[in-house]
Amino acid sequence: MNQHVSESFTWFMFKPMNNKVYFILAFGLLGVSFGGPLARFLPEMAALTIAFWRMAGASTMLWTHGIIQPQKPLETAKFPAIIIAGIFLALHFAFFYSAIKLTSIANATLFATMAPIFTLIYERFVLKHKLPLAALLGLWIAIIGAFIVQGSGFDWGTEATTGNLYALASSAFMSVVLLIGQRVRRDITNIMYTRWLYLFAALTLIGVILGLGIDMKFSSSDVKWLLGLVILPTLIGHNSMNYAVRYIRPTIVGAMPFGEPILASILAWLFFGEIVSLNVIVGGVITISGLVLLTLKRGH
Protein backbone atom coordinates (compact mmCIF):
# COMPACT_ATOMS: atom_id res chain seq x y z
CA MET A 1 0.00 0.00 0.00
CA ASN A 2 2.82 2.39 0.95
CA GLN A 3 4.61 1.60 -2.30
CA HIS A 4 1.42 2.36 -4.23
CA VAL A 5 1.06 5.69 -2.41
CA SER A 6 4.69 6.49 -3.13
CA GLU A 7 4.27 5.74 -6.85
CA SER A 8 1.10 7.84 -6.98
CA PHE A 9 2.90 10.71 -5.29
CA THR A 10 5.78 10.46 -7.77
CA TRP A 11 3.33 10.57 -10.69
CA PHE A 12 1.54 13.56 -9.12
CA MET A 13 4.79 15.47 -8.67
CA PHE A 14 6.32 14.90 -12.09
CA LYS A 15 3.49 14.19 -14.52
CA PRO A 16 1.78 17.56 -14.02
CA MET A 17 5.04 19.31 -15.03
CA ASN A 18 4.98 17.36 -18.27
CA ASN A 19 1.33 18.30 -18.75
CA LYS A 20 2.18 21.93 -17.99
CA VAL A 21 4.87 21.94 -20.67
CA TYR A 22 2.52 20.46 -23.25
CA PHE A 23 -0.06 23.08 -22.31
CA ILE A 24 2.53 25.84 -22.77
CA LEU A 25 3.55 24.31 -26.10
CA ALA A 26 -0.08 24.20 -27.27
CA PHE A 27 -0.55 27.79 -26.10
CA GLY A 28 2.55 28.77 -28.07
CA LEU A 29 1.20 27.07 -31.18
CA LEU A 30 -2.03 29.04 -30.84
CA GLY A 31 -0.01 32.25 -30.50
CA VAL A 32 2.05 31.53 -33.62
CA SER A 33 -1.14 30.84 -35.58
CA PHE A 34 -2.22 34.48 -35.17
CA GLY A 35 0.75 35.67 -37.27
CA GLY A 36 -1.16 35.55 -40.56
CA PRO A 37 -4.72 36.48 -39.52
CA LEU A 38 -3.67 39.56 -37.51
CA ALA A 39 -1.83 40.97 -40.53
CA ARG A 40 -5.09 40.86 -42.49
CA PHE A 41 -6.40 43.59 -40.19
CA LEU A 42 -3.70 45.87 -41.66
CA PRO A 43 -4.71 45.95 -45.35
CA GLU A 44 -3.33 49.45 -45.99
CA MET A 45 0.05 48.77 -44.42
CA ALA A 46 2.90 47.51 -46.61
CA ALA A 47 4.16 43.99 -45.92
CA LEU A 48 7.67 45.23 -45.09
CA THR A 49 6.25 47.78 -42.65
CA ILE A 50 4.26 45.08 -40.85
CA ALA A 51 7.38 42.92 -40.66
CA PHE A 52 9.48 45.85 -39.36
CA TRP A 53 7.12 46.84 -36.56
CA ARG A 54 6.75 43.20 -35.48
CA MET A 55 10.52 42.76 -35.21
CA ALA A 56 11.18 46.22 -33.73
CA GLY A 57 8.45 45.78 -31.12
CA ALA A 58 9.62 42.31 -30.09
CA SER A 59 13.26 43.42 -29.90
CA THR A 60 12.33 46.48 -27.79
CA MET A 61 10.38 44.36 -25.31
CA LEU A 62 13.22 41.84 -25.00
CA TRP A 63 15.82 44.58 -24.46
CA THR A 64 13.53 46.14 -21.83
CA HIS A 65 13.36 42.73 -20.14
CA GLY A 66 17.17 42.81 -20.08
CA ILE A 67 17.04 45.89 -17.86
CA ILE A 68 14.97 43.97 -15.31
CA GLN A 69 16.92 40.72 -15.68
CA PRO A 70 20.38 41.53 -17.05
CA GLN A 71 21.96 39.13 -19.54
CA LYS A 72 25.68 38.55 -19.85
CA PRO A 73 27.31 40.26 -22.88
CA LEU A 74 27.28 38.40 -26.17
CA GLU A 75 30.64 37.20 -27.48
CA THR A 76 31.92 39.26 -30.40
CA ALA A 77 32.53 36.09 -32.42
CA LYS A 78 28.75 35.36 -32.39
CA PHE A 79 27.73 38.60 -34.11
CA PRO A 80 28.49 37.76 -37.77
CA ALA A 81 26.30 34.63 -37.69
CA ILE A 82 23.46 36.41 -35.84
CA ILE A 83 23.58 39.34 -38.26
CA ILE A 84 23.21 36.93 -41.18
CA ALA A 85 20.36 35.15 -39.38
CA GLY A 86 18.70 38.53 -38.75
CA ILE A 87 18.91 39.42 -42.45
CA PHE A 88 17.29 36.13 -43.45
CA LEU A 89 14.63 36.48 -40.74
CA ALA A 90 13.81 39.90 -42.20
CA LEU A 91 13.46 38.30 -45.64
CA HIS A 92 11.27 35.56 -44.17
CA PHE A 93 8.77 38.02 -42.72
CA ALA A 94 8.90 40.36 -45.72
CA PHE A 95 7.98 37.51 -48.06
CA PHE A 96 5.47 35.93 -45.64
CA TYR A 97 3.47 39.13 -45.20
CA SER A 98 3.66 39.79 -48.93
CA ALA A 99 2.15 36.32 -49.39
CA ILE A 100 -0.64 37.09 -46.90
CA LYS A 101 -1.68 40.00 -49.11
CA LEU A 102 -1.81 37.87 -52.27
CA THR A 103 -3.05 34.41 -51.34
CA SER A 104 -5.28 32.79 -48.72
CA ILE A 105 -4.15 32.58 -45.09
CA ALA A 106 -4.40 28.78 -45.33
CA ASN A 107 -2.03 28.65 -48.31
CA ALA A 108 0.39 31.25 -46.95
CA THR A 109 0.79 29.53 -43.58
CA LEU A 110 1.06 26.07 -45.15
CA PHE A 111 3.78 27.02 -47.62
CA ALA A 112 5.55 29.07 -44.92
CA THR A 113 5.98 25.99 -42.68
CA MET A 114 8.11 24.11 -45.20
CA ALA A 115 11.49 25.14 -43.80
CA PRO A 116 12.27 21.48 -42.83
CA ILE A 117 12.27 20.61 -46.54
CA PHE A 118 15.04 23.10 -47.22
CA THR A 119 17.07 22.18 -44.13
CA LEU A 120 16.84 18.51 -45.14
CA ILE A 121 18.02 19.32 -48.67
CA TYR A 122 20.91 21.32 -47.20
CA GLU A 123 21.92 18.47 -44.90
CA ARG A 124 21.74 15.92 -47.70
CA PHE A 125 23.48 17.78 -50.53
CA VAL A 126 25.74 20.31 -48.78
CA LEU A 127 26.67 18.55 -45.52
CA LYS A 128 26.46 15.13 -47.25
CA HIS A 129 24.56 13.61 -44.32
CA LYS A 130 23.09 10.18 -44.90
CA LEU A 131 19.39 10.53 -44.17
CA PRO A 132 16.93 7.82 -43.14
CA LEU A 133 14.65 6.51 -45.87
CA ALA A 134 11.59 7.55 -43.81
CA ALA A 135 12.80 11.19 -43.75
CA LEU A 136 13.27 11.21 -47.53
CA LEU A 137 9.83 9.64 -47.94
CA GLY A 138 8.39 12.41 -45.77
CA LEU A 139 10.10 14.97 -48.01
CA TRP A 140 8.44 13.61 -51.15
CA ILE A 141 5.06 13.28 -49.44
CA ALA A 142 5.26 16.94 -48.40
CA ILE A 143 6.20 18.04 -51.94
CA ILE A 144 3.36 16.04 -53.50
CA GLY A 145 0.94 17.60 -51.01
CA ALA A 146 2.18 21.08 -51.93
CA PHE A 147 1.44 20.43 -55.61
CA ILE A 148 -2.08 19.27 -54.69
CA VAL A 149 -2.61 22.49 -52.69
CA GLN A 150 -1.56 24.57 -55.68
CA GLY A 151 -3.90 22.51 -57.88
CA SER A 152 -4.07 22.81 -61.63
CA GLY A 153 -4.00 26.60 -61.58
CA PHE A 154 -0.23 27.08 -61.65
CA ASP A 155 -0.48 30.35 -63.54
CA TRP A 156 2.49 32.63 -63.02
CA GLY A 157 0.27 35.65 -63.64
CA THR A 158 -2.18 35.10 -60.79
CA GLU A 159 -1.79 36.72 -57.39
CA ALA A 160 -2.54 33.43 -55.62
CA THR A 161 0.34 31.61 -57.31
CA THR A 162 2.70 34.52 -56.65
CA GLY A 163 1.60 34.53 -53.00
CA ASN A 164 2.18 30.78 -52.68
CA LEU A 165 5.68 31.18 -54.14
CA TYR A 166 6.42 34.08 -51.78
CA ALA A 167 5.35 31.92 -48.82
CA LEU A 168 7.53 29.06 -50.07
CA ALA A 169 10.46 31.48 -50.38
CA SER A 170 9.81 32.61 -46.79
CA SER A 171 10.29 28.97 -45.75
CA ALA A 172 13.63 28.84 -47.54
CA PHE A 173 14.77 31.98 -45.72
CA MET A 174 13.58 30.60 -42.38
CA SER A 175 15.56 27.42 -42.93
CA VAL A 176 18.76 29.51 -42.95
CA VAL A 177 17.70 31.14 -39.66
CA LEU A 178 17.08 27.71 -38.13
CA LEU A 179 20.39 26.30 -39.32
CA ILE A 180 22.33 29.27 -37.92
CA GLY A 181 20.33 29.31 -34.69
CA GLN A 182 20.97 25.61 -34.10
CA ARG A 183 24.70 26.33 -34.11
CA VAL A 184 24.78 29.71 -32.36
CA ARG A 185 22.36 28.94 -29.51
CA ARG A 186 24.38 26.09 -28.04
CA ASP A 187 25.86 28.27 -25.31
CA ILE A 188 23.67 31.40 -25.13
CA THR A 189 20.20 31.95 -23.72
CA ASN A 190 17.12 32.26 -25.88
CA ILE A 191 16.47 35.85 -24.75
CA MET A 192 20.06 36.92 -25.45
CA TYR A 193 19.89 35.36 -28.92
CA THR A 194 16.43 36.56 -29.96
CA ARG A 195 16.82 40.16 -28.82
CA TRP A 196 19.84 40.53 -31.10
CA LEU A 197 18.23 38.47 -33.85
CA TYR A 198 15.06 40.59 -33.89
CA LEU A 199 17.12 43.79 -33.69
CA PHE A 200 19.20 42.91 -36.76
CA ALA A 201 16.04 41.84 -38.61
CA ALA A 202 14.42 45.19 -37.77
CA LEU A 203 17.53 47.11 -38.91
CA THR A 204 17.55 45.17 -42.19
CA LEU A 205 13.88 45.92 -42.79
CA ILE A 206 14.14 49.62 -41.99
CA GLY A 207 17.09 49.89 -44.37
CA VAL A 208 15.04 48.36 -47.20
CA ILE A 209 11.97 50.44 -46.29
CA LEU A 210 13.92 53.72 -46.34
CA GLY A 211 15.69 52.70 -49.54
CA LEU A 212 12.41 51.97 -51.33
CA GLY A 213 10.60 54.95 -49.81
CA ILE A 214 7.88 52.82 -48.21
CA ASP A 215 5.57 54.54 -45.72
CA MET A 216 6.28 53.44 -42.14
CA LYS A 217 3.46 55.32 -40.45
CA PHE A 218 0.49 53.67 -38.81
CA SER A 219 -2.78 54.95 -37.35
CA SER A 220 -3.95 54.66 -33.76
CA SER A 221 -6.39 51.93 -34.83
CA ASP A 222 -3.44 49.87 -36.13
CA VAL A 223 -1.63 49.80 -32.77
CA LYS A 224 -3.66 46.93 -31.29
CA TRP A 225 -3.00 44.69 -34.31
CA LEU A 226 0.73 45.48 -34.31
CA LEU A 227 0.93 44.80 -30.56
CA GLY A 228 -0.93 41.56 -31.19
CA LEU A 229 1.72 40.54 -33.74
CA VAL A 230 4.51 41.38 -31.30
CA ILE A 231 2.99 39.58 -28.32
CA LEU A 232 1.04 36.59 -29.68
CA PRO A 233 3.07 34.95 -32.50
CA THR A 234 6.48 36.39 -31.53
CA LEU A 235 6.95 36.63 -27.77
CA ILE A 236 4.34 34.07 -26.66
CA GLY A 237 4.42 31.76 -29.69
CA HIS A 238 8.11 31.34 -30.37
CA ASN A 239 9.25 31.75 -26.77
CA SER A 240 6.82 29.05 -25.56
CA MET A 241 8.29 26.58 -28.04
CA ASN A 242 11.82 27.50 -27.01
CA TYR A 243 10.83 26.98 -23.36
CA ALA A 244 9.25 23.58 -24.06
CA VAL A 245 12.35 22.22 -25.80
CA ARG A 246 14.12 22.13 -22.41
CA TYR A 247 11.65 19.56 -21.08
CA ILE A 248 10.42 17.42 -23.98
CA ARG A 249 12.04 15.97 -27.08
CA PRO A 250 13.09 18.59 -29.66
CA THR A 251 11.55 16.47 -32.43
CA ILE A 252 8.12 16.86 -30.81
CA VAL A 253 8.58 20.61 -30.48
CA GLY A 254 9.82 20.75 -34.07
CA ALA A 255 6.67 19.04 -35.32
CA MET A 256 4.27 21.31 -33.43
CA PRO A 257 4.39 24.29 -35.88
CA PHE A 258 2.82 22.07 -38.53
CA GLY A 259 -0.44 22.62 -36.71
CA GLU A 260 -0.20 26.34 -37.52
CA PRO A 261 -1.90 26.13 -40.95
CA ILE A 262 -4.85 24.31 -39.38
CA LEU A 263 -5.36 26.83 -36.56
CA ALA A 264 -4.63 29.81 -38.85
CA SER A 265 -7.26 28.53 -41.31
CA ILE A 266 -9.81 28.25 -38.49
CA LEU A 267 -9.01 31.81 -37.38
CA ALA A 268 -9.26 33.04 -40.98
CA TRP A 269 -12.71 31.47 -41.23
CA LEU A 270 -13.82 32.97 -37.90
CA PHE A 271 -12.48 36.47 -38.61
CA PHE A 272 -12.92 36.82 -42.37
CA GLY A 273 -15.19 33.97 -43.46
CA GLU A 274 -12.32 32.57 -45.56
CA ILE A 275 -13.32 29.11 -46.81
CA VAL A 276 -10.62 26.51 -47.38
CA SER A 277 -11.02 24.67 -50.70
CA LEU A 278 -11.00 20.87 -50.98
CA ASN A 279 -7.61 20.69 -52.71
CA VAL A 280 -6.06 22.76 -49.91
CA ILE A 281 -7.57 20.48 -47.25
CA VAL A 282 -6.43 17.27 -48.98
CA GLY A 283 -3.03 18.62 -50.03
CA GLY A 284 -2.53 20.28 -46.66
CA VAL A 285 -3.14 17.05 -44.75
CA ILE A 286 -0.69 15.22 -47.05
CA THR A 287 1.92 17.98 -46.75
CA ILE A 288 1.69 18.23 -42.97
CA SER A 289 1.88 14.43 -42.66
CA GLY A 290 5.03 14.42 -44.78
CA LEU A 291 6.60 17.25 -42.79
CA VAL A 292 5.87 15.51 -39.48
CA LEU A 293 7.39 12.26 -40.80
CA LEU A 294 10.40 14.18 -42.11
CA THR A 295 10.94 15.95 -38.78
CA LEU A 296 10.51 12.90 -36.53
CA LYS A 297 12.61 10.55 -38.68
CA ARG A 298 15.46 12.76 -39.81
CA GLY A 299 17.84 11.12 -37.35
CA HIS A 300 18.58 14.09 -35.07
Question: Residue 221: pLDDT above 90?
Answer: yes
Choice between 158 and 79, residue whose per-residue pLDDT is larger? 79
DSSP string, 166-179: HHHHHHHHHHHHHH
Q: Are 141 and 289 in contact (CB under 8 A)?
A: yes
64-68, 108-112, 209-213, 245-249, range with the lowest pLDDT: 245-249
pLDDT of residue 122: 87
Mean pLDDT of all residues belonging to the chain: 86
Question: Residue 61: pLDDT above 70?
Answer: yes
pLDDT of residue 154: 55
Give the C-alpha distances (Å, rounded to integers) separating 169 from 35, 57, 133, 199: 17, 24, 26, 22
pLDDT of residue 188: 85
**Global pTM value:** 0.87
Residue 74 lies inside a defined structural domain of this protein: yes
Kindly indicate the confidence band of residue 189, based on its pLDDT and cuts at 50, 70 and 90.
Answer: confident
Is residue 155 classed as helix, strand or coil in its secondary structure? coil
Residue 209 lies inside a defined structural domain of this protein: yes
Q: Are 294 and 135 in contact (CB under 8 A)?
A: yes
pLDDT of residue 254: 65
Domain residues for the domain of 193 are: 36-296
CA dist 15 and 13 (Å) reads 6
pLDDT of residue 40: 96
When pLDDT is averaged across residues 6-35 and rounded to a whole number, the result is: 68
Q: Amino acid identity of 283?
A: G
Give the model confidence (pLDDT) of 149-174 as tens digits.
Answer: 876 555 666 888 899 999 999 999 99
Give the C-alpha distances (Å, rounded to integers) separating 88 from 14, 52, 174: 39, 13, 7
Is residue 231 classed as helix, strand or coil in its secondary structure? helix
Residue 72 lies inside a defined structural domain of this protein: yes
Residue 161 lies inside a defined structural domain of this protein: yes
Residue 28 lies inside a defined structural domain of this protein: no
Residue 1 lies inside a defined structural domain of this protein: no
Question: Residue 5: pLDDT above 50?
Answer: no
Domain count, the chain: 1
Q: What is the CA radius of gyration of the chain?
A: 20
Residue 2 lies inside a defined structural domain of this protein: no
Residue 171 lies inside a defined structural domain of this protein: yes
